[in-house]
């Protein structure tokens, strides 16, 4: 499965964790789709189903004080980063107990504790932020990495170009992760990029990079680990192109006129969870009972998060104008 | 014929592509996807990928390309998916589309139409709920319109396409599902005048786009309280139709301006200032504004509703003007 | 001490870099070139290329990087060469700088200062003469200031730098050569209040930035005609200091608002609407606005002057208000 | 001098024309600098002195109905394109007899007759326009080329990236000409681009390109002719990087703190006019008398243009609001 063919040596806890992370993201989002249908979650909801290996593999390679900048399709990243499912679910509901106090919703998950800088709903809007976070680290002599996730559609935006150039020019510790799921809404890669080999762009800024099978969680983790090591050693950016696929519609409004069911079905044959689970079972690293436990735990965690979100109070309307500016008390405390 | 606002937009696009060989539609997901709001569904199949042109995510680039294509003799209809992303194209609009005619001493015109969805109301939170029409209405060299009705959604595009200079059409995202009747022979409409959507005697409610409907609701509620409210649909945001506004004020002597933009620097401020300019001595009370609260639009429905104009807040503002108390 | 506005800005930058180790200046040509307006001359030699950081031409990119650096604990001072190019960074300002605090539920603040030159008056024509302060003043989540005097050029930056949220400082390009006295111990100044620059009884002239000086000239001319004009320098464009404005109107009962922006949708409209809101019954005449004509700024001096507010046009507007005729 | 060493066969009229074009641009701009000092020309004035070979060489390769999009440093392009010196000079003065009716000035020369689309003062702002002009040609089945000039500083802007991608993706007949004079105001190329070999960017969009000695007018013309032929044949864009140097300050306000006089002097040793003139004289294609005639004619033309501009009336203030919108009469005539 991995480029070299064989899996690197994984121990059992590691394998269990990879499966657990991917599965709880999957089940969480399946439930979110239901909750959307039930009117509990509103606005836009962009599911990551099919792409879980990317967030899980990359984020495992990060240290606790590294930073993450993500997109509107970020539930998986938030969960993999260790933000609690309760505050995430409450955020999806728009409750004040949400991680962004309910103000952001699905597209704007933020978490200071884990240095999770959103949840950005402007395509490519997060890239310059990642450059700046890395610049701050460099200027303050901190050996931290900022991982920046975005889709292949974002690569056409001017912000992509400006950000790659700045990161390379100033030698900043940014890990660019292009999650290439081959579609930007309904626009296929070949209708959006004259150069479909996106890594070629990175090369044109003299940024090192690699292409990874984004359906293979171990391959992703290996590549990300290598990338992060390279960044920490050289202080310069690194570019990962993770080839993956979105199994669901772009958002809950998308009738998917632009691709065949056959194409989707074909992609599903390489479901990252099945691939890894089958491999783990075959290799004897995982057992059927493990899968059951993980599924049961995930289900329980999700039920718990829903109960939490349901019970959480709405923010009072009188607080409408909160958090436009930093209150003076917070300023004094800084 | 029963139809929807969305279908009216689609018909208008269909007419444009059919009647004018120089017209083409370009934007993100206008083709294979059928348009984010399904306004161009089916057009790709009928007119082909050249004239229903999917673009990469590159708002500045493809809006600029639209300007260039207009200079080159085409009649581009550029769809920016929403006003939120139009910020990435604002430089091209301000510094090229709006100025090339002037900078070239009148040698070149830019017959470009830009359509975009705008507004809040769908729980899309802080980055996806802007109402920046007032910014566009500030720019000399462009015309800005906002169809509030199915007739206008159907008819404004063709007229805009005849304009030799850039025209921006704002479609409020909550309007696409609006249902109503449309005459079978409905077609182009004038785009330079405001419309009195409901006559009244005691107060004038001035709104545009989706808020016209909220103002109409407010007018009905006021009616029940014995207050007769006139409702003006601005339709054209640049230029503003001062005459229709001032004529109304001269009759009602009171006005509430409704605008989904943040209050400070809203188009409502301009309308208020113009009423000051043109009808100060006619006013029985200061012009009131019902705008959005000065907060990025929050995700939860109850907060989003509290942040934006609602029929209730419009009616309440009007009632205070007329009766001196709420 | 005799000095210039330019030198005051330079001193303020020098102080920021000296006193706060987290502060750094970044922008196009702030380093080797010494700043387009020479405001950062010598700073590179003193503070080095990390803290006086030349950027590529990439306004969206480096403003966004400034936001990120602020999130990362720095205190960036980002110079956008002029407001004209800030359109390329507007998405970052509106959708990130101004909203991250809110979208994150108050977890993150963005202590970022953006400086930019603004305005017309140097015959730079349609693409290089914008006055878009009103657009920035529309955005919740940021503070906007416009130093008109040497004291404010010297003192506003440090205060802005203490703000935990984004602050935008507009420096009118015609002010840099302004000469005047500055106290040796001049330092930080409050940035939230307007200032009465000249007291008067008959009419209030409200302006900001370079136009404060034109209003002062107009006031002198009016004095000669026996009209006593008060001049208010707004200083803070967001939030607006309603109290100072309304207090003045309650004394003079008349106001002229001066704004170099195009009239429609100018900040002058907002000020007029607020006077309507807050002092309607105090007004003896409608608030007048002296703004730029609705035309991209033309290159020739006589046309540029005709297009923008001038002491003469300000005085004329005031005179009509006070005497009922010109 | 040219890449291959030898000059391609130039006949005498051709050689005379190349020299004449470069010299009249040079003398015109030298006079403009004087007129600026005298207060006749105001606003920004960006001189092209040292870079003349680029406009002259490229524009000779264009057909009459091809289009040009240029920058604020466009006097050379306007003159080489054949816009009359009188309307150009009147434009510099801001007189109504100017080619842009005086509304634009130095940075905004426009001319419908020669399809000269400005004179754009926003760095990289013209690139998307060029893409659109080419799109219009393609959609209307016209075999025209749009030449788009910009500096190397513009290559860092997002608009560069978006435009290159669109032109390549849609296979549009754009000739991108990057006039690399190694400085963007005071910012040297290596402080603005992580990749100083700009053509590498073009490659990353799959756009063909070449690097040219922009001080050698013949080399430029040869490369541009090849480029235009390639565009007409393939319908796809082409990228020229012309390496050149600006002998004067960026604008009249620039104290040139960022570069040594020695560096400038060194560059001046390869003055494109001297290089070509010397070569022509040596090769016997040009004679001393030719140079004298060209100088005399240029001086006369410049004097004439000044007289014209001086005598031309100012536009009446009452016309201030003209040309914001297209008047109805013009609409009817269209
Ligand atoms: C600047 C901007 N333009 C358009 C949109 C609308 N939009 C949201 S997601 C999306 C597709 C993005 O595709 P990609 O970058 O590949 O990410 P994916 O959704 O596939 O994960 C679009 C067009 C947006 N949010 N921001
Ligand atoms: C978007 C934008 N940013 C900044 C400027 C200010 N500016 C004008 S010219 C220039 C340098 C451009 O350099 P380059 O593209 O190399 O062209 P050159 O002037 O060297 O011909 C700058 C920074 C501008 N006009 N537009
Ligand atoms: Mg994608
Ligand atoms: Mg250059």
DSSP notation for A265-304: HHHHTT-HHHHHHHHHHHHTSS-HHHHHHHHHHHHHHHHH
Q: Does the CB of B276 have a partner CB in chain C at under 8 Å? A: yes
Q: Does the annotation mark C102 as catalytic?
A: no
CA gap B56, B108 in Å, rounded: 27
Q: At what angle do helices D12-37 and D52-60 cross, to 10 degrees?
A: 140
Helical (H) or strand (E) element with B24: strand B23-27
Residue A277 in contact with residue A291, Cβ under 8 Å? yes
Burial of B113-143, coded b for 16+ CB within 10 Å and e otherwise, reads bbbbbbbbbbbbbbbbbbbbbbbbbbbbbbb
Continuous H helices in B280-310: 301-307
| DSSP three-state, residue A108 | coil
CA distance C283 to chain A (A): 31
Distance, in Å, from the CA atom of D98 to the CA atom of C59, rounded to the nearest integer, reads: 33
Q: What's the CA gap between B236 and B193, in Å, rounded?
A: 6
Q: pTM for the complete prediction?
A: 0.98
Q: Taking all residues of chain D, what is their mean pLDDT, rounded to a whole number?
A: 95
What is the residue whose two structure tokens read 């001490």? C1
What part of D 190-229 touches A (C-beta under 8 Å)?
A: 191-195, 200-201, 203-207
Which residue bears the tokens 């470069």? Answer: D22
Decide if C89 touches B, using CB distance below 8 A. no
User: What's the pLDDT at C7?
Assistant: 98
Res C326: pLDDT: 75
On the CB side of B171, how many CA atoms lie within 13 Å of its CA?
32
Which pLDDT value is given to residue D4?
41
pLDDT at D313 over 80: yes
Q: Assess contact for A151 and A178: CB atoms under 8 A.
A: yes
Q: Is residue B325 classed exposed, middle or buried when 0-12, 13-18 and 19+ CB atoms within 10 A define those classes?
A: exposed
Q: How confident is the model at residue D7 (pLDDT cuts 50, 70, 90)?
A: low
CB proximity under 8 Å: C 134-193 to A = 140-141, 143, 164-165
Positive or negative torsion for Cα B258, B263, B269, B272: positive
- Give CA–CA dist B157/B179, Å, rounded: 19
> What DSSP state is assigned to residue B77?
E
Which residue from A42, A98, A45 is spatially nearest to A72, judged by alpha carbons? A45
**What residue ranges of chain C have pLDDT lower than 50?**
none
At a CB cut-off of 8 Å and minimum separation 6, what does B99 contact?
B141, C126, C127, C296
Residues of chain B with confidence (pLDDT) below 50: none
- Regarding beta strands B143-145 and C75-82, do their DSSP bridges make them parallel or antiparallel, or are they unpaired? unpaired
Token pair belonging to A102: 């309910």
pLDDT of residue D307: 98
What is the rounded distance in angstroms from the CA atom of residue A236 to the CA atom of residue A145? Answer: 10
Q: Do C126 and B287 touch (CB under 8 A)?
A: no
Nearest to C104 among A100, A158, A159 (CB): A100
Dihedrals phi, psi of A239, to nearest 5 degrees: -125, 120
Mean pLDDT for A232-257 is: 96
- Give the span between the Cα atoms of B216 and B222, in whole angstroms: 10
CB–CB of A54/A23 below 8 Å? no
Q: Which residue has the tokens 């209730």?
A: B312
**D288 class by beta-carbon count within 10 Å (0-12 exposed, 13-18 middle, 19+ buried):** exposed
CA R_g for chain A: 20
Cβ within 8 Å, pair A205-D191: no
Interface test with B, best of C127, C273, C289 (most B CBs within 10 A): C273
Instruction: Tell me which chain D residues have a C-beta less than 8 angstroms from the C-beta of A204.
Output: 195, 200-201, 203-204
> Looking at chain A, how many residues does it have?
334
Q: Note whether B296 contacts C: Cβ–Cβ < 8 A.
A: yes
Phi and psi at residue B181, to the nearest 5°: -90, 150
Q: Known catalytic residue: C294? A: no
Tokens of B237: 């945001």
Of C140, C260, A104, nearest to B261 (Cα)? C140
**Mutate which of B68, B74, B87 to disrupt the D interface (most D C-beta within 10 Å)?**
B68
**Distance between CA D311 and CA D303 in Å, rounded?**
12
Tokens 């008109």 belong to: C148
Of C265, C321, C323, C273, give the one whose Cα is nearest residue C291: C265
Instruction: Give the max Cα distance, chain D.
Output: 59
**Residue A293 CA to its chain's centroid (Å):** 24
Q: Tell me how far the alpha carbon of residue D54 is from its chain's centroid.
A: 7
Omega of the bond prior to C239 within 30 degrees of 0, cis? yes
Neighboring chain C residues of A104 at a CB cutoff of 8 Å = 103-105
Question: What is the CB neighbour count within 10 angstroms for residue D282?
Answer: 9
- Give the nearest partner residue to A105 out of B34, B125, B296, using CB atoms: B125
Cα C300 from Cα A68, distance rounded (Å): 51
What is the distance in A from the centroid of ligand 3 to the CA of C216?
Answer: 57
Q: Find chain C residues with C-beta within 8 A of D122's C-beta.
A: 84-85, 127
CA distance D164 to D155: 10
Q: From CA D100, how far away is CA A129, in angstroms rounded?
A: 41
Neighbour count for residue D90 (Cβ, 10 Å): 25
Residue B160 main-chain phi, psi, to 5 deg: -60, -40
CB neighbour class for A311 (10 Å; exposed up to 12, middle 13-18, buried from 19)? exposed
- Give residues with Cβ within 8 angstroms of D148, minimum separation 6: D68, D69, D70, D126, D127, D129, D130, D174, D175, D176, D177
Mutate to test the pocket of ligand 2, among D159, D185, D214 (most ligand atoms within 8 A of CB): D185
Pairing relationship of beta strands A238-243 and C52-54 according to DSSP bridges? unpaired
pLDDT of D332 above 60: no
Q: If you average pLDDT over residues A216-239, what whole number do you get?
A: 98
Coil, strand or helix: which one is B248?
helix
pLDDT at position D252, please?
87
Give D235's DSSP letter: -
**CB–CB contact B289 C298 (8 Å):** no
Instruction: Tell the burial category of D179 from Cβ atoms under 10 Å away from its Cβ (0-12, 13-18, 19+).
Output: buried
- CA D202, distance to chain mean position in Å, is 20
> How far lies B137's CA from each of B237, B244, C309, D129, D172, in Å?
6, 18, 20, 23, 33
Question: How far apart, in whole angstroms, are the C-alpha atoms of residue D263 and residue D319?
Answer: 48
Share of chain A above pLDDT 90, in %: 94
- Rounded distance between C-alpha atoms, residue B113 and residue B126, angstroms: 27
Helix (H) or strand (E) holding C270: helix C267-279
The torsion angles phi and psi of D291, rounded to 5 degrees, stand at: -60, -45
Residue D257 — φ and ψ, nearest 5°? -75, -15
Q: What is the DSSP letter of A320?
A: T
Name the residue of chain B whose CA is nearest to D98's CA.
B105
Binary contact (A169, D193; C-beta < 8 A): yes
Please report the atom of ligand 2 found closest to the CA of residue D124: 1
Using 50, 70 and 90 to split pLDDT, how confident is the model at D329? low
């Amino acid at each position: 499965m991995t480029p070299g063919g064989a899996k690197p040596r994984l121990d059992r806890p590691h394998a269990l964790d990879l499966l657990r992370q991917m599965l709880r993201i999957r089940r969480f989002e399946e439930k979110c789709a239901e909750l959307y249908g039930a009117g509990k979650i509103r606005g836009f909801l962009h599911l990551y189903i099919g792409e879980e290996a990317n967030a899980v593999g990359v984020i495992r390679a990060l240290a606790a004080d590294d930073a993450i900048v993500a997109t509107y399709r970020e539930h998986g990243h938030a969960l993999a980063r260790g933000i609690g499912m309760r505050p995430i679910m409450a955020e999806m509901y728009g409750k004040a107990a949400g991680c962004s106090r309910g103000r952001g919703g699905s597209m704007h998950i933020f978490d200071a504790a884990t240095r999770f800088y959103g949840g950005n709903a402007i395509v490519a809007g997060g890239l310059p932020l990642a450059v700046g976070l890395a610049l701050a680290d460099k200027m303050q002599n901190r050996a931290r990495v900022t991982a920046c996730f975005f889709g292949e559609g974002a690569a056409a935006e001017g912000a992509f170009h400006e950000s790659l150039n700045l990161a390379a020019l100033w030698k900043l510790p940014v890990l660019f992760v292009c999650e290439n799921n081959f579609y930007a809404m309904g626009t296929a890669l070949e209708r959006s990029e004259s150069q479909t080999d996106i890594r070629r762009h990175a090369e044109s800024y003299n940024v090192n990079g690699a292409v990874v099978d984004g359906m293979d969680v171990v391959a992703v983790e290996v590549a990300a680990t290598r990338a992060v090591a390279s960044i920490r050693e050289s202080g310069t950016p690194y570019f990962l192109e993770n080839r993956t696929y979105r199994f669901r519609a772009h958002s809950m409004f998308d009738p998917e006129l632009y691709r065949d069911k056959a194409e989707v079905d074909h992609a599903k044959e390489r479901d990252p969870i099945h691939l890894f689970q089958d491999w783990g079972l075959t290799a004897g690293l995982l057992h059927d009972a493990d899968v059951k436990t993980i599924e049961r735990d995930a289900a329980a965690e999700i039920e718990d998060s829903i109960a939490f979100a349901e019970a959480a109070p709405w923010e009072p309307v009188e607080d409408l104008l909160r958090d436009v500016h930093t209150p003076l008390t917070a300023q004094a405390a800084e | 014929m029963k139809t929807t606002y969305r279908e009216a937009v689609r018909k208008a696009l269909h007419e444009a592509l059919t009647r004018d060989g120089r017209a083409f539609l370009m934007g993100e997901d206008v083709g294979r996807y059928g348009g984010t709001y399904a306004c161009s569904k089916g057009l790709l199949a009928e007119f082909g990928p050249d004239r229903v042109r999917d673009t990469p995510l590159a708002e500045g680039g493809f809006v600029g390309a639209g300007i260039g294509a207009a200079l080159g003799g085409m009649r581009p209809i550029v769809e920016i998916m929403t006003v939120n992303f139009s910020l990435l194209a604002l430089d091209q609009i301000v510094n090229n589309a709006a100025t090339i005619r002037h900078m070239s001493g009148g040698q070149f015109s830019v017959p470009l139409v830009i359509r975009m969805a705008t507004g809040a109301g769908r729980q899309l939170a802080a980055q996806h709920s802007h109402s920046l029409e007032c910014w566009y209405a500030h720019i000399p060299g462009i015309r800005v319109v906002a169809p509030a009705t199915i007739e206008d959604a159907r008819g404004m595009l063709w007229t805009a396409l005849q304009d030799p200079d850039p025209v921006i059409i704002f479609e409020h995202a909550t309007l696409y599902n609006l249902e109503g009747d449309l005459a079978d022979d409905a077609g182009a409409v004038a785009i330079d005048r405001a419309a009195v959507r409901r006559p009244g005697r005691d107060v004038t409610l001035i709104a545009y786009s989706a808020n016209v409907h909220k103002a109409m609701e407010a007018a009905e509620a006021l009616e029940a309280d014995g207050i007769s409210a006139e409702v003006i649909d601005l339709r054209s945001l640049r230029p503003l139709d001062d005459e229709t506004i001032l004529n109304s004020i001269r009759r009602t002597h009171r006005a509430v301006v409704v605008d989904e933009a943040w209050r400070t620097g809203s188009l409502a401020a301009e309308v208020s200032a113009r009423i000051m300019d043109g009808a100060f001595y006619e006013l029985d009370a200061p012009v009131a504004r019902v705008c959005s609260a000065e907060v990025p639009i929050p995700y939860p429905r109850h907060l989003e509703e509290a942040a934006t104009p609602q029929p209730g807040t419009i009616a309440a503002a009007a009632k205070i003007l007329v009766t001196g108390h709420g």
